[in-house]
């Protein structure tokens, strides 16, 4: 494997559709409330991708250094684990991606708010810095929260609430109460993707001392938790559609849950964690599909 391919693998491009789902929902809500700005949307997407790639580099580094990525790992080999990228190279990649993220944050905040009133710009720069911190501290350092069973909370907050509501605010400069429902939906679906990953890796994680929520509550309870996440996400979206229903097009957003429930049925039948690996991509892409369909269902400019 070449260095370039190793960097591409470390960036984990397959995770990007899930990461931008919240921004697409936020943009869809902004359009629904009468706002649309493609410059803000483009910068928000690029910033989110930057956060995700930074997180992926950091996860590769953190799990590799801690020895979590070893011969017991079920998923694809990581760059540091395989030895193609060294610790120093991966560290340099993380630093470069942080700088790029920070520049994108500054640009996004400037385009959205300008510099007349510094309250909102400073707030969003702070949120951006916190997002970078969260991306890195999931697996890096002695206090990595991913090793303490707190990953689910952070994913729900950053992939769901902050991603959707933060994106919405960039367009509208205010928040709607009902917007919390699709934000919760995306947060729960993103958490379900993490949970599925933790279900798959439950045994290797336990051996390596990575105490994810699944390791703490057990594989069987982890599956029940998975069902609860998906069903609650569906209920929240149904409630939003019901409260904002104007025509048949609004129902389109619910069609994305068809593959979600097919996935739930498959997971319910699976006994071996290794069999869950193909479901990760399906669930992540289903979440992205829901975001796209939501855009079609509630964008008043279409």
pLDDT in tens, the chain (302 residues): 577 787 888 888 888 999 999 999 999 999 999 998 999 999 999 999 999 999 988 887 777 675 555 455 555 556 565 667 778 888 888 999 999 999 999 999 999 999 888 899 999 999 999 999 998 988 887 778 888 889 999 999 999 999 999 999 999 999 999 999 999 999 999 999 999 999 998 888 888 788 899 999 999 999 999 999 999 999 999 999 999 998 899 999 899 999 999 999 999 988 888 889 899 999 999 999 999 999 999 987 76
Distance CA 176, CA 189 (A): 21
CA angle, 32 then 37 then 41, to 5°: 95
223: helix, strand or coil: helix
Contact 160, 190 (CB under 8 A): yes
| Whether this model's pTM surpasses 0.95 | no
CA angle, 171 then 173 then 175, to 5°: 100
55's CB contacts (< 8 A; 6+ apart) are: 134, 135, 136, 138
- pLDDT value of position 60: 79
Distance CA 169, CA 188 (A): 20
Contact 296, 302 (CB under 8 A): yes
Q: Per residue in 143-182, is it b (16+ CB within 10 Å) or e — as a string?
A: ebebbebbbbebbbbbbbbbbbbbbbbbbbeeeeeebbbb
Distance CA 160, CA 215 (A): 23
- pLDDT value of position 148: 87
Domain segments of the chain: what residues? 3-298
Question: Among the residues of 201-218, which ranges form H helices?
Answer: 202-208, 213-217
- Torsion, Cα 269 271 277 281, to 10 degrees, reads 20
């Amino acid at each position: 494997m070449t260095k370039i391919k190793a960097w591409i693998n470390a960036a984990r491009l397959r995770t990007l559709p899930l990461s931008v789902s919240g921004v697409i929902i936020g943009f869809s809500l902004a359009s629904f409330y009468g706002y649309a700005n493609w410059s803000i949307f483009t910068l928000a997407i690029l910033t989110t991708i930057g956060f995700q790639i930074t997180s992926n580099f950091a996860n590769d580094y953190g799990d590799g250094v801690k020895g979590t990525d070893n011969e017991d790992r079920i998923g694809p080999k990581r760059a540091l684990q395989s030895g193609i990228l060294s610790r120093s190279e991966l560290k340099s990649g993380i630093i470069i991606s942080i700088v790029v993220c920070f520049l994108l944050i500054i640009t996004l905040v400037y385009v959205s708010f300008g510099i007349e009133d510094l309250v909102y710009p400073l707030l969003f720069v702070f949120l951006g810095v916190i997002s970078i911190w969260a991306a890195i501290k999931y697996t890096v350092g002695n206090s990595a929260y991913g090793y303490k069973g707190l990953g689910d909370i952070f994913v729900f907050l950053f992939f769901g609430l902050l991603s959707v509501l933060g994106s919405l605010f960039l367009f509208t400069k205010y928040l709607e109460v009902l917007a919390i429902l699709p934000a919760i939906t995306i947060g729960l679906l993103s958490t379900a993707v993490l949970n599925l990953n933790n279900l798959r890796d439950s045994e290797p994680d336990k051996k390596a001392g990575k105490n994810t929520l699944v390791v703490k509550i057990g594989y069987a309870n982890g599956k029940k938790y998975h069902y609860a996440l998906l069903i609650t996400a569906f209920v929240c979206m149904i409630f939003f559609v019901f409260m904002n229903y104007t025509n048949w097009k609004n129902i389109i957003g619910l069609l994305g849950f068809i593959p979600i429930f097919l996935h739930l049925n498959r997971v319910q039948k699976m006994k071996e964690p290794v069999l869950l690996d193909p479901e990760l991509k399906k669930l992540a892409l289903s979440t992205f599909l829901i975001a796209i369909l939501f855009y079609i269902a509630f964008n008043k400019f279409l």
